[in-house]
Structure 1
């Protein structure tokens, strides 16, 4: 065993020798406290002789265990040291990149590409200021990277003291560093001309304790008033105007008057304002209720006021407000989501298996940009979003939208010139921006391509300030060649007050019959992103092309159908061809043509109809088949020429992927959880949607 291991063993043994002192012994286990030391020594010698073999075995086991513990310790320390070295390396590289990238772009890179938290991202730019000897000391200390980042933000005196502590062989936690900062800065203040704030801070601490006690007493007294109010309500009738009842009402009035005054002392009047974060109740309503009870206005009859001797009904609504203040369930709000203070949202982590959309659909509004033939719009509608505008400049695609959903607010305009001021306050902006600037077929010219609309979309976000943003594009935008473009998008959204995440979602894991992968950007107002999580794939069998298209392929009685279904036992390649510059109707580029042929599909063109009974050879897919591969509803009608219809289908964001993304964003907004599997197995449109009918009736009335 090495010297280091021996130290490890000795320390562990010293701790183990003290352990029995904390255990309770039975009478049989009590040690003998009398007798000579020689007797004790003889006893120990006998034990060694009688238990020698087992003692040797125990020592061997201990050595093996301690060797394992040492390896784990060394591995943990080495890992933290590597993490510190990597943090310094990243800081140095960012400092070097600072000559070509702005600070906002560097922070966007650290936060979004390297997935470093917001609190640590700025610190990484400061780590480069640590000198070589300091770095060596920090690596040897093996502190957590989070502590390292916090240390980088400290004043020079705090950093110097912390480094001295680490050089002494100690370590530091975040709590240690916080307390060290407090004490060092207090010492700095004492040795300077700055005033000593010790007494002031102590006064603040005592005041906080007094306020807490005052609130506790107030809540206790308020509970007494609420119980007395409930007893009066339950034990009297509308006709009861007895002296005893009058006395109880008067006692309530006196208590409520005291509590109303006490509430004004606990919370200043300027703070007693309605708060949207508390839902339909706030402390100003409690104040109003107490003042109403203080004036003996307990009746629900308008214009009636105690002590007129009329029969009365006690207004139970007053008791509900008192119940809200005490954290009790309010009958009229039963079943609704309980509000969370400070604008939070209660997250439902147990979805109802029968629900395929939120319980209150069309509560949240969406403005959709570059809608195309409606793939994204269908999915967001199915997820429960209410469209306030669907912008699409292509006449054929706009006609498709109107033909299928006449009530949808389709706006056939160019988003570069549209006046979007009327949409201020919308909850979600969803955009299916042109993919060609970032696709292989479009030569990946990025922002240099005239079809790129990211900058215009960000301008619209800045003007409207929605709660959430979702932008769909091809996977190519996540490649290294477009890294600077992504950083520009990240940094702009950061400046506008949004947290952003960009991920690739896979179509097949959600039951799509093609290998379609889409890059999705989700941005949310700061303070909301922690509630968003990317949709998790449900457990479901993959959908093969043969299974998906069997009915359409056999519509004309093709005798070779069964053989084709067996051959088409796989997924289709990603459907392409949505560019307006594309003149042909072929399905594949050279590298994907082989994949189409392997599943029994001729990708050179699009068929006009299903194979006839005697058809020989590899069949073509028809437009309805392609639409089904893209997950459009079977009755969705496409307008325009065959070429225009093909582009609309090929360019679409599959509705089921839009749906699961819409549900994920809905959960972040409302807290309501919906089962992804239940949702994607449900129809995209209800035959009779009462919620949608009511929505249209309200819109018509307005």
Structure 2
């Protein structure tokens, strides 16, 4: 199946789509460093990106002529207009690229799209604009008029949406807020997915069910103890539970494995299991595994605990507000994640190299979509597109059969 990637960044969503069976026709990103990451991996013949056409450009300036029969448009528009760490200006922020993404969907008419963004988009302050985004994506042919405000356009879209009229191009949209940890990513990363299917596709799609859970992790650690045995962690090196955690664990003792909500959340320790402790000299075996000195803990800047999924990586380095880009050991000492460790937390393949210095690479990773989560979502979309195509072909064959 043929796909197009918008706002590709370091390639997390695009890699997940490739693993799910899509082949990227164009991979668009405006940032030079992120493009260099994709281009260098392509030059090194990394198989997932070997055929990518990396386009370093503003999405709004790309020439889409000759790009047709696209099955999927995927992308993560810049999150800064909706991020809790930013000014949260939504439609008044020039970095709001949802209108640009809608224009690409209008032009390419893909069978489906996947767009991803921060959970801040679901905040009550953005409720009307979030609804506006969804209606724009559902009705991409209904473009804004010259000098029309988004509020006025929103009103027209609402009227069109409830009119019962059928457009030539319309999408059935499913918005979903998820935690990446629930899908086997060793990181608590809450994100909004907007997945749409063209109305002529009988996809019958719903968002994939979670496969991992916090309760299953607590059970693995504190009921059976299998987690500590697997990692060979003696009792003296295990963290202490809070009273609240102890009460929760007591409740879990009565549950069977099938009642725990899938497999255990993957932790930082799980993700780093076979990585050596980093040094300032780096590693000859592991790409981008170089110690970054200078990490410090202080109130509100505490790092990610070793035996839980990491906090959501942030697009920054030393000044990240909550110390999200630091590891906190059981004894309370901290150090920065290496680029390779951060890539593992984002489930990038080990052979995929990040271009640029530590801060630049961390920015790319902090903005990325976890590859495994992207693969889960894109894989489900691919499966349902294939089934929709199969049903359409069967109906076409039945229509050609002579009447009895």
Q: TM-score range by the shorter chain?
A: 0.5 to 0.7
The 3 A distance-change label for structure 1 pair 550 and 588 is farther
The 3 A distance-change label for structure 1 pair 648 and 601 is farther
State the alpha-carbon separation in 2 of the partners of residues 443 and 376 from structure 1.
25
The 3 A distance-change label for structure 1 pair 421 and 553 is same
Which residue in the other structure is 2:237 paired with?
none
The 3 A distance-change label for structure 1 pair 411 and 570 is same
Per the alignment, in what secondary structure is the counterpart of residue 619 of structure 1? Answer: strand
Which residue in the other structure is 1:526 paired with?
199
State the alpha-carbon separation in 1 of the partners of residues 358 and 326 from structure 2.
21
Contact kept, 8 Å, 1:424 with 1:463, in 2: the verdict is no
Which of 300, 314, 317 aligns to 1:576? It is 314
Compute the displacement of 1:490 (Å).
Answer: 2.2
Which residue in the other structure is 2:8 paired with?
371
Which residue in the other structure is 1:469 paired with?
113
State the alpha-carbon separation in 1 of the partners of residues 364 and 189 from structure 2.
16
Contact kept, 8 Å, 1:531 with 1:667, in 2: the verdict is no
Which of 242, 245, 269 aligns to 1:546? It is 269
How do 1:58-69 and structure 2 match up within 5 A?
none
* Higher helix residue share: 1
State the alpha-carbon separation in 2 of the partners of residues 373 and 593 from structure 1.
22
TM-score, normalisation: structure 1: 0.38
State the alpha-carbon separation in 1 of the partners of residues 314 and 113 from structure 2.
25
The 3 A distance-change label for structure 1 pair 437 and 479 is same
State the alpha-carbon separation in 1 of the partners of residues 67 and 85 from structure 2.
34
Which residue in the other structure is 1:311 paired with?
none
Per the alignment, in what secondary structure is the counterpart of residue 27 of structure 2? Answer: strand
Per the alignment, in what secondary structure is the counterpart of residue 490 of structure 1? Answer: helix
Q: Deviations over 1:364-397 (max 9, x none)?
A: 1101001111111111000000111101111111
Which residue in the other structure is 1:165 paired with?
none
How do 1:604-623 and structure 2 match up within 5 A?
617-623=333-339
Which residue in the other structure is 2:356 paired with?
640
Contact kept, 8 Å, 1:515 with 1:571, in 2: the verdict is yes
**Does 1:624 find its partner at 2:362?**
no
State the alpha-carbon separation in 2 of the partners of residues 641 and 667 from structure 1.
39
State the alpha-carbon separation in 1 of the partners of residues 61 and 359 from structure 2.
27
Per the alignment, in what secondary structure is the counterpart of residue 470 of structure 1? Answer: strand
Contact kept, 8 Å, 2:116 with 2:191, in 1: the verdict is yes
State the alpha-carbon separation in 1 of the partners of residues 7 and 325 from structure 2.
30
Contact kept, 8 Å, 1:575 with 1:587, in 2: the verdict is no
Q: Over aligned residues, Cα RMSD in angstroms?
A: 2.5
Which of 372, 379, 386 aligns to 1:656? It is 372
The 3 A distance-change label for structure 1 pair 421 and 486 is farther
The 3 A distance-change label for structure 1 pair 488 and 413 is same
Unaligned runs of 5+ in 1: 1-363, 559-566, 579-584, 603-616, 673-702
**Does 1:396 find its partner at 2:134?**
no
State the alpha-carbon separation in 2 of the partners of residues 521 and 637 from structure 1.
29
Which residue in the other structure is 1:498 paired with?
171
**Does 1:536 find its partner at 2:209?**
yes
State the alpha-carbon separation in 2 of the partners of residues 409 and 601 from structure 1.
47
Compute the displacement of 1:541 (Å).
Answer: 1.8
State the alpha-carbon separation in 2 of the partners of residues 518 and 478 from structure 1.
10
TM-score, normalisation: structure 2: 0.64
Contact kept, 8 Å, 2:327 with 2:336, in 1: the verdict is no
Compute the displacement of 1:650 (Å).
Answer: 1.0
The 3 A distance-change label for structure 1 pair 587 and 622 is farther
**Does 1:482 find its partner at 2:126?**
yes
Q: Which is higher, the Rg of structure 1 or of structure 2?
A: 1
**Does 1:417 find its partner at 2:140?**
no
State the alpha-carbon separation in 1 of the partners of residues 181 and 82 from structure 2.
22
Contact kept, 8 Å, 1:576 with 1:587, in 2: the verdict is no
Q: Deviations over 1:540-577 (max 9, x none)?
A: 2221112222433525699xxxxxxxx72112111112
Which residue in the other structure is 1:124 paired with?
none
Which of 429, 433, 439 aligns to 2:73? It is 429
* Higher strand residue share: 2
Q: Deviations over 1:310-365 (max 9, x none)?
A: xxxxxxxxxxxxxxxxxxxxxxxxxxxxxxxxxxxxxxxxxxxxxxxxxxxxxx11
State the alpha-carbon separation in 2 of the partners of residues 437 and 512 from structure 1.
25
The 3 A distance-change label for structure 1 pair 638 and 594 is closer
State the alpha-carbon separation in 2 of the partners of residues 499 and 594 from structure 1.
36
How do 1:191-230 and structure 2 match up within 5 A?
none
Which residue in the other structure is 1:457 paired with?
101
Compute the displacement of 1:622 (Å).
Answer: 1.2
The 3 A distance-change label for structure 1 pair 619 and 650 is same
How do 1:274-423 and structure 2 match up within 5 A?
364-405=1-42, 406-423=50-67
Per the alignment, in what secondary structure is the counterpart of residue 657 of structure 1? Answer: helix
State the alpha-carbon separation in 2 of the partners of residues 420 and 474 from structure 1.
27
Contact kept, 8 Å, 1:627 with 1:649, in 2: the verdict is yes
The 3 A distance-change label for structure 1 pair 571 and 408 is same
